[in-house]
């Protein structure tokens, strides 16, 4: 992590200018909303609450970004709802009052945009690559995806219905491997938890999850993960209660500082 | 609900039941006084609507056309079979351990009984996912007790069907214990005492006198526990994982289907609902005769 002071100077300087420029050119006339409690004056100063629905894998980095955003824009309050992208998408199409949606896959974003819930076009802001998570010290000496098929090894995978599981399947197909896990987990965090608790010997999760788990798991990169890189799209929502501040937040996520926090957490630049 | 409230309708039912006893005229007036009072009837109907509305919505939105296709899938039957087996096994475990525990709480005098009773109901308030994590920490391969199970007996519970039963029993047993304990407290202990003065041991008195006496409570508790086990999701997926045919019960299949095929999820929920209603209705009839 970069020291706070450095971030602050960056933000005060070039960052703010970038934000202004971005929000100015991408504004689809949404900066003035009558009847909204939020305000946006000409200089891009926004206020009010911003509700962000974000994929579970963004938890650590978005929480940090939210704090930085609130500091840069006094008067704003960023609230997050982290969860499985599918669940979040279902919530948004069901009418949940969210401003921004950051999904872990284009497919889940399409659920919302197909229902006409997105303002503008969703754009990829990061990408995430898979990694094998093993027990600390890698006692089973796993070095490749093929090693996971070894007998006596307890492997948990994400279910194929969730983004990390779909990506894992793609990587396995690319490697021409058949892998029968002991369990298909409901999301990437529960797959990781099984390894953290040493109930499973290995799992295939995102690089960012391995990063976030610290020394509780050990990451092993594998070449086939290049065939299964996940794009993370972000979008301003059509029914956003606070579109001005929401737009500013999206711009902040996509800014140089935002990118720095995200790549620091293990994400790849788009 | 469009049925208008008629004070007389209740009375008619009462008279109907009472005609065996004598002429209807006098009883009808008595019955009118015992009609359902409005302050009870209105919230009762509202409660009924509140409970049934989501289920009705499920029926309304069921993709009836693709239903046969959903129901012929082998995975669905596998999940349903596993659900029924595991819920029944969990109920059996709850009975074997729960009835004696309820007896202990209701009949035995010991210090800290109130605390033990509170602890027994703890799984009721624990979010099931937390219960699943707690089970992993206790009985997992690396758990407090689980590591000994693993090294001494070679038993590992997570990711096995036995693990599903353990998770479901953990969540469902308190329902049985509470129900049986309540019945035990309501049952007159003097029957047991009389049996013992006639020479029966305390265990014989329990087996021959108490047990038949509290059967309705045991039946009600078993039904509650079974229903809870059948719908159990959080503890199961956390402790036992999700693998088709081994640990994937219906609620797990429904949840995962919801991720990318909500129509299939609705169809699956309907199957689970239909089966549980059938079983519960069947049991209810038998259990009513026990009473």
In angstroms, the separation between the Cα of residue A87 and the nearest Cα of chain B is 7
- Rounded mean pLDDT of A163-192? 91
pLDDT at B21 over 90: no
Q: What homologous superfamily does CATH list for A130-227?
A: Osmoprotection protein (prox); domain 2 (3.40.190.120)
Q: Which member of A162, A183, A186 has the closest CB to residue B243? A: A183
For the cut 60, the answer to whether the pLDDT of residue A181 exceeds it is yes
Asked whether B149 and B155 are in contact (CB, 8 A), the reply is yes
Say if residue A6's pLDDT is above 50: no
For A143-172, the pLDDT digits (tens) are 999 999 988 899 999 998 888 899 999 999
Contact A81, A139 (CB under 8 A): no
Report whether pLDDT(B20) > 90.
no
Domains annotated for chain B, with CATH where assigned, are: 62-288 (1.10.3720.10)
Residue B178 has pLDDT above 90, yes or no: yes
For residue B257, give the chain A residue with the closest CA.
Answer: A161
In this prediction, does ipTM exceed 0.85? no
pLDDT digits (tens, 9 = 90+) for B23-38: 444 444 545 557 889 9
A84, A185, A198: residue with CB nearest B242 = A185
Judged by average pLDDT, the poorest of A83-87, A173-177, B120-124, B167-171 is A83-87
Distance from CA of B163 to the nearest CA of A (A): 12
Cβ-based neighbour number of residue B290 at 10 Å: 11
- Among chain A, residues having any CB pair with chain B shorter than 8 Å are 84, 86-87, 90, 154, 156, 159, 161-162, 181-186, 190, 193-194, 197-199
Chain A residues whose CB is inside 8 A of the B136 CB are 197, 199
Nearest chain B residue to A201, by CA: B141
- pLDDT number for residue A246: 93
Mean pLDDT of A222-230: 89
∠ at Cα B86 (B84, B91), nearest 5°?
A: 95
- Contact list, A87 vs chain B (CB under 8 Å): 259
Mean pLDDT over each residue of chain B, to the nearest integer:
84
CA-nearest residue to B241 within chain A is A183
Averaged pLDDT of chain A: 84
d(CA A80, CA A83): 10
Domain ranges of chain A: 17-26+48-127+231-264, 130-227
The shortest C-alpha distance from A173 to chain B (Å) reads 20
Across the interface, whether the CB atoms of A198 and B259 are under 8 A apart is answered no
At residue B151 the predicted structure's pLDDT band, cuts being 50, 70 and 90, is: confident
Query: Do A130-227 and A17-26+48-127+231-264 fall under one CATH topology?
Result: yes
A107: left (phi over 0), alpha (psi -120 to 50) or beta: alpha
Chosen CATH of A17-26+48-127+231-264 out of 3.40.30.10, 3.40.190.10, 3.30.1330.10, 3.40.50.1980:
3.40.190.10
Q: How far is B159 from chain A (nearest CA, A)?
A: 6
Contact at CB, A186 and B255, closer than 8 angstroms: yes
Could you report the per-residue pLDDT of B226-275, keeping only the tens digit for each? 999 999 999 999 999 999 999 999 999 998 888 777 778 888 888 888 88
Residue B283 scores a pLDDT above 90: no
**Contact residues for B82 (Cβ-Cβ < 8 A; gap 6+):** B161, B164, B245, B246, B247, B248, B249, B250
B260: which chain A residues are within 8 Å (Cβ-Cβ)?
A: 86, 161
CA A183/CA A197 separation, integer angstroms: 15
Interface contact flag, B241 A194, Cβ < 8 Å? yes
What is B92-158 written as a DSSP string? HHHHHHHHHHHHHHHH---TTHHHHHHHHTHHHHS-HHHHHHHHHHHHSTTSTTHHHIIIII----T
Instruction: For A198, name the nearest residue in chain B, comparing CA atoms only.
Output: B142
Task: Read off the pLDDT of each residue in A82-107 and give the average, rounded to a whole number.
Answer: 89
Q: What is the pTM of this model?
A: 0.75
Q: How far is B140 from chain A (nearest CA, A)?
A: 6
Q: What residues of chain A lie within 8 A of the CB of B137, using their CB?
A: 197
Cα separation, B32 vs B36, in Å, equals 9
- ∠ Cα A236 A238 A243 (to 5°): 60
């Amino acid at each position: 992590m970069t020291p706070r002071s450095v971030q602050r100077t960056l933000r005060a300087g070039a960052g703010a200018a970038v934000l202004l420029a971005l929000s100015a050119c991408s504004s689809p006339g949404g900066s003035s909303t009558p009847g909204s409690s939020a305000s946006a004056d000409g200089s891009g100063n926004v206020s009010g609450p911003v509700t962000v629905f974000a994929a579970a894998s963004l938890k650590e980095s978005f929480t940090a970004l939210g704090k930085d955003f609130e500091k840069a824009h006094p008067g704003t309050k960023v609230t997050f709802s982290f969860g499985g992208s599918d669940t979040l998408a279902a919530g948004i199409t069901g009418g949940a009052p969210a401003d921004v949606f950051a999904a872990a896959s284009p497919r889940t974003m399409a659920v919302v945009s197909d229902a006409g819930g997105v303002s503008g076009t969703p754009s990829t802001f990061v990408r995430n690559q898979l990694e094998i998570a093993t027990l600390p010290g890698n006692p089973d000496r796993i070095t490749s995806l093929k090693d996971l098929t070894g007998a006596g090894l307890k492997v948990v995978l994400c279910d194929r219905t969730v983004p990390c599981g779909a990506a894992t399947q793609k990587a396995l197909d690319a490697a021409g491997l058949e892998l029968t896990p002991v369990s298909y987990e409901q999301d990437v965090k529960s797959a990781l938890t099984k390894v953290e608790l040493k109930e499973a010997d290995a799992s295939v999760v995102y690089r960012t999850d391995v990063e976030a788990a610290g020394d509780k798991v050990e990451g092993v990169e594998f070449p086939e993960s290049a065939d299964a890189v996940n794009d993370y799209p972000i979008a301003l929502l059509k029914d956003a209660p606070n579109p001005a501040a929401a737009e500013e937040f999206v711009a902040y996520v996509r800014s140089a500082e935002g990118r720095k926090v995200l790549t620091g957490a293990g994400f790849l630049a788009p | 609900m469009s049925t208008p409230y008629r004070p007389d309708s209740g009375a008619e039912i009462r008279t109907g039941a009472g005609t065996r006893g004598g002429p209807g005229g006098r009883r009808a007036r008595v019955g009118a006084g015992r009609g359902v009072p409005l302050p009870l009837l209105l919230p009762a109907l509202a409660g009924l609507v509140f409970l049934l509305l989501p289920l009705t919505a499920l029926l309304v939105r069921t993709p009836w056309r693709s239903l046969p296709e959903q129901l012929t899938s082998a995975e669905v039957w596998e999940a349903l079979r596993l659900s029924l087996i595991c819920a029944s096994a969990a109920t059996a475990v709850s009975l074997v351990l729960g009835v004696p525990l309820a007896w202990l709480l209701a009949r035995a005098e010991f210090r800290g009984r109130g605390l033990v009773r509170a602890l027994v109901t703890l799984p009721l308030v624990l979010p099931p996912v937390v219960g699943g994590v707690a089970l992993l920490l206790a009985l997992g391969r690396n758990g407090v007790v689980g590591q000994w199970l693993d090294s001494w007996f070679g038993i590992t519970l997570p990711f096995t069907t036995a693990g599903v039963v353990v998770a479901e029993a953990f969540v469902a047993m308190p329902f049985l214990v509470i129900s049986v304990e309540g019945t035990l407290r309501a049952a007159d202990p003097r029957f047991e005492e009389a049996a013992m003065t006639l020479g029966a041991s305390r265990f014989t008195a329990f087996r021959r006198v108490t047990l038949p006496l509290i059967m309705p409570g045991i039946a009600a508790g078993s039904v509650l526990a079974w229903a809870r086990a059948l719908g159990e999701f959080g503890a199961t997926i956390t402790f036992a994982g999700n693998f088709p045919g081994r640990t994937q019960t219906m609620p797990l299949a429904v949840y995962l289907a919801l991720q990318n095929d909500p129509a299939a999820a609705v169809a699956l929920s309907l199957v689970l609902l239909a089966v549980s209603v059938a079983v519960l209705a069947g049991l209810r009839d038998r259990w009513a005769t026990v009473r």
